[in-house]
């Protein structure tokens, strides 16, 4: 692919750490302008990273960054953030729906407060963010700038084995994937590509470190997701496989000619890499 992301205006939800931040920094290296729309403005001892440390990392990677504190469950604040981003950078070309809440528990151990958080952030937040960005993405399409929505969500699979251990979380993540399924078809005539990206293996982030039994030597770094995102965002809605796709990071990179995946291992040389949720 020889299309460039230089000068593209990107909004990433929840990108103050982990995979979202890795994608932001990688797109900044490609010359994109980045808006981080996230809640964390003050340091959290359990989850390191804030809007402002993220902005510093993005700028160190060579990009411009606009950090905006926003809870994507607040419709008014969300729309204001989207409009501020578009005004600041002169438009919006790419939305990365990265913000997500996780609670891996069976039904009797899932408080409704946690259920509501996952549905509020994962499903409603993704839908609301896409809706808020749509006028700007439509304008990007009219200008021939190849607009794109990328949801960090898994391929849809109705095998009960993915539901039984954590019904609420699975429904919430699949809600993001159903947005891909519907919005790709709905927006294709506007030239807006809509796709999903999911890791083939466990990715070692601060959130993953809080899950019992996940060891760094069994994981890959978030950079593999970032490199895959760059490849996906250069496709178009008119490409045969450019929209409505559920991409897996390793498969995307293999298609791009990459064969050495040890460079992404959290512990180089590790012979045991754990497959991620939702993949056979």
Bridge partners for 149 per DSSP: 95, 194
- DSSP secondary structure letter of residue 154: P
Token pair 């001892």 is found at 45
Closest CA to 231 of 213, 206, 248: 248
Measured CA to CA, the distance from residue 53 to residue 44 in angstroms comes to 12
Of 169, 174, 204, 264, catalytic: 169
Closest CA to 230 of 73, 10, 16: 10
Measured CA to CA, the distance from residue 167 to residue 155 in angstroms comes to 16
Measured CA to CA, the distance from residue 172 to residue 19 in angstroms comes to 18
- Bridging pattern class, strands 246-248 and 94-97: unpaired
Measured CA to CA, the distance from residue 184 to residue 180 in angstroms comes to 6
Structure tokens at 64: 């411009």
189 class by beta-carbon count within 10 Å (0-12 exposed, 13-18 middle, 19+ buried):
exposed
State residue 201 phi and psi, 5-degree precision. -125, 170
Side by side, the strands of the sheet bearing 33-38 are: 65-69, 33-38, 9-13, 94-97, 148-151, 193-198, 246-248
Q: Is 169 considered catalytic here?
A: yes
Q: Which residues are catalytic?
A: 169
């Amino acid at each position: 692919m020889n299309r460039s992301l230089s000068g593209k205006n990107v909004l990433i939800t929840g990108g103050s750490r982990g995979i979202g931040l890795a994608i932001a920094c990688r797109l900044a290296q490609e010359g994109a302008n980045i808006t981080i729309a996230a809640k964390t403005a003050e340091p959290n001892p359990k989850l390191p990273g804030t809007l402002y440390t993220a902005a510093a990392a993005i700028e160190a990677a060579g990009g411009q960054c606009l950090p905006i504190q926003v809870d994507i469950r607040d419709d008014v604040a969300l729309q204001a953030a989207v409009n501020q981003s578009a005004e600041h950078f002169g438009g919006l070309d790419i939305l990365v729906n990265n913000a997500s809440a996780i609670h891996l528990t069976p039904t009797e151990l899932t408080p409704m407060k946690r259920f509501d958080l996952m549905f509020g952030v994962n499903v409603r937040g993704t839908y609301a963010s896409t809706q808020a960005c749509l006028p700007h993405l439509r304008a990007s399409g009219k200008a021939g700038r190849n607009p794109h929505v990328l949801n960090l969500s898994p391929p849809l699979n109705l095998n009960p084995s993915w539901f039984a251990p954590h019904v609420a979380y699975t429904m919430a993540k699949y809600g993001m994937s159903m947005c891909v399924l519907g919005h790709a078809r709905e927006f294709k005539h506007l030239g807006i590509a809509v796709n999903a990206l999911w890791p083939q293996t466990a990715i070692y982030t601060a959130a993953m470190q809080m899950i019992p039994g996940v060891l760094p030597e069994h994981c890959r770094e978030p950079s593999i997701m970032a490199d895959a995102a760059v490849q996906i965002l250069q496709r178009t809605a008119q490409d045969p496989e450019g929209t409505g796709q559920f991409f897996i990071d390793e498969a995307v990179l293999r298609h791009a000619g990459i064969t050495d995946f040890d460079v992404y291992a959290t512990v180089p040389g590790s012979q045991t890499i754990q497959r991620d949720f939702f993949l056979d």
